[in-house]
A = this chain, B = another copy of it.
Amino acid sequence: MRKSALTGALLVTIFASPALANDSVTKLTADPNNWAIQTGDYTNQRYSKLDQINRDNVKDLKVAWTFSTGVLRGHEGSPLVIGDTMWLHTPFPNNVFALDLNEPGKIIWTYKPKQDPSVIPVMCCDTVNRGLAYADGMIFLHQADTTVVALDAKTGKEVWKAVNGDPKKGETNTATVLPVKDKLVVGISGGEFGVAGHVTAYDIKTGKRVWRAYSSGPDDQILFDPQKTMSLGKPVGKDSSLKTWQGDQWKIGGGTTWGWYSYDPDLDLIYYGSGNPSTWNPAQRPGDNKWSMTIFARNPDTGVAKWAYQMTPFDEWDYDGINEMILADIDVKGEKRKVLVHFDRNGLGYTLDRGTGELLVAEKFDPAVNWTTGVEFDKSKPNYGRPYVVDKYSTAKNGEDVNTKGVCPAALGSKDMQPATFSPRTGLFYVPTNHVCMDYEPFRVSYTAGQPYVGATLSMYPAPNSHGGMGNFIAWDAGKGEIVWSQPEPFSVWSGALATAGGVVFYGTLEGYLKAVDEKDGKELFKFRTPSGIIGNVMTYSHKGKQYVGILSGIGGWAGIGLAAGLTNPTDGLGAVGGYAGLSNYTALGGTLTVFSLP
């Protein structure tokens, strides 16, 4: 048995009732001194109870130490901290460092996977990785090439390895993984390569595959129970997915699962969303393309779905539904509800009952959103729960080889994977957003395994008739579906936010600033120019009684793909290069962790 201060947790798990969450994660995330999971805790709230750094003193924050990762290109995710140790990952080649917090920067061990660089060109949106997970004395890494590795957290030695996909078919990984109970739940990328998305659970001790749930296909592959799996209050019925696709298109139909995962231990449900249907040319895939663009609630032991809700049936804009599901207990129209809040790429902020999947709120969280007039809330209507699409912005209606102009948001959404945060202090969600529109011209494309299967030419630009910038940082009332305040940013906010008990909300900017704002009104309290543009997520921890705030900088991701991959043609990088060209006046590549504290 692995020797570790935390081995006790493993023993407990073995004898624990199967309805309990993975004990080590629950215990470690309950201690605000740690940052033991990418998402802060299972709820994905990214809220820290630490309050040493607060609204009054955050202006005095200074850099405590820094660490270069040795890798260029986009740095997403954040380090993990448990006790005296920090674990840090890099983009491809996905190196892992264990750092000694007693001597900041001192390296305890390094793990350098050998990966075939041929995976790089099959990654749609930069060679990012959203970070490691920890459970039961192990660190879990899901590599770009879809190898899932469990490492001894103390030594960095491999415990097990599993292979989740095949990069030769365009299957790659950028997401973090979710350790839950005795399983490790992992997703897959490749929606721009016609990959059929799925979620897979591995035995956390052995790496043996336990179940796999596809986003599209027959019921036994999507793990739907036609009678018991619900959608909008009704059983989904037989072949709920197959019925919505023409022919075999579902086999190359996307719906990848490269976003974030949450877990409710009481309901014993995991939550995540699926991505765009393939191709981006809607004419090639008539139908609702279920269950792409869907929020799923699944049982972690069996993978069977309790409920599902498709936000954007028959996507015409690449509005992947993979953004994080934040679990919170909030007031909705005067009633305390156990909800799931989700800021979708399509520009709508959704609030659902997370036990039943009941739709409570769906409102625009960026006023620029124009492809829809909103969602039908009348349960008696046949289109209950569906968005109304504005003809002018329907790339399907306008047809192939027609450039549909001025669609808001752009394909990268009013918000992409950059995670929002929820503060139980204010009851508000703080959301890093994109304020970007696009022209979208679909074209016919044929499928070849491992080749791009995109089928649209895009160009992106700041939302017109607005403040001229490409982003806002907003506070959102998810009970009402209302923006409480909004702070403009010159570029999209591509960094994950952090709310703290100190009344401060942190986020990073693409130019490279770490910013701290007041939870009440968004007023800027502090900013610091980190070495490179920020697409990582702000985290906080406490060591020997001192609170630290950590952020990875390193420009890249979809927004920064021009810099990261050295592209300059405006429509390259799936249309992002032109829109974010101005970034080269602000920042250059380079991965660095910057850690702040009070003096």
Contact = CB atoms under 8 A, between A and B. Distances in A.
Given A528-B65, A532-B68, A97 B588 contact: yes
A60 B599 CA distance: 8
Contact of A589 (B70, B531, B554, B587): B70
Nearest to A553: B68
A68 B531 contact: yes
A289 interface: no
A101 to B, nearest CB: 12
A405 B588 CA distance: 46
The size class of the interface chain A forms with chain B is: 35 or more
B586 A105 contact: yes
A63 B599 CA distance: 12
Contacts of A599: 60, 62, 599
Contacts of A63: 62-63, 66, 528
Contact of A531 (B67, B71, B110): B67
A17 interface: no
A325 B110 CA distance: 41
A72 interface: yes
Interface string A352-379: 0000000000000000000000000000
A70 B555 CA distance: 10
A115 to B, nearest CB: 15
Copies in the complex: 2
A72 B104 CA distance: 21
A590 B95 CA distance: 14
A530 B594 CA distance: 9
Given A70-B588, A531-B592, A62 B65 contact: no
B592 A66 contact: yes
Given A531-B592, A592-B531, A105 B68 contact: no
A532 B63 CA distance: 15
Given A62-B63, A63-B62, A512-B105, A68 B110 contact: no
Contact of A72 (B67, B70, B110): B70
A205 interface: no
Interface string A558-599: 000000000000000000000000001111111111100001
Interface in A339-359: none
B69 A72 contact: no
Contacts of A11: none
A107 interface: yes
B585 A107 contact: yes
A71 B97 CA distance: 20
B110 A592 contact: no
A593 B529 CA distance: 11
A529 B100 CA distance: 13
A65 to B, nearest CB: 4
A27 interface: no
Contact of A530 (B60, B66, B72, B590): B66
A511 interface: yes
A511 B105 contact: yes
Q: Point out which of A70, A585, A594 has the most chain B C-beta atoms below 10 A from its C-beta.
A: A70
A106 interface: yes
A531 B68 CA distance: 4
B68 A590 contact: yes
Interface in A529-547: 529-532
Given A105-B512, A531-B592, 18 more contacts: A62-B599, A63-B63, A68-B532, A68-B553, A68-B587, A68-B588, A68-B590, A70-B532, A70-B590, A71-B590, A95-B588, A97-B588, A105-B529, A105-B587, A107-B584, A110-B584, A592-B592, A599-B599
23 contacts: A60-B599, A62-B599, A63-B63, A63-B66, A63-B528, A67-B531, A67-B588, A68-B553, A68-B554, A68-B588, A68-B590, A69-B590, A70-B588, A70-B590, A71-B590, A95-B588, A105-B512, A105-B586, A106-B585, A106-B586, A107-B585, A107-B588, A592-B592
Q: Which 5 A-B pairs have the closest CB atoms?
A: A68-B590, A70-B588, A68-B531, A70-B589, A63-B63
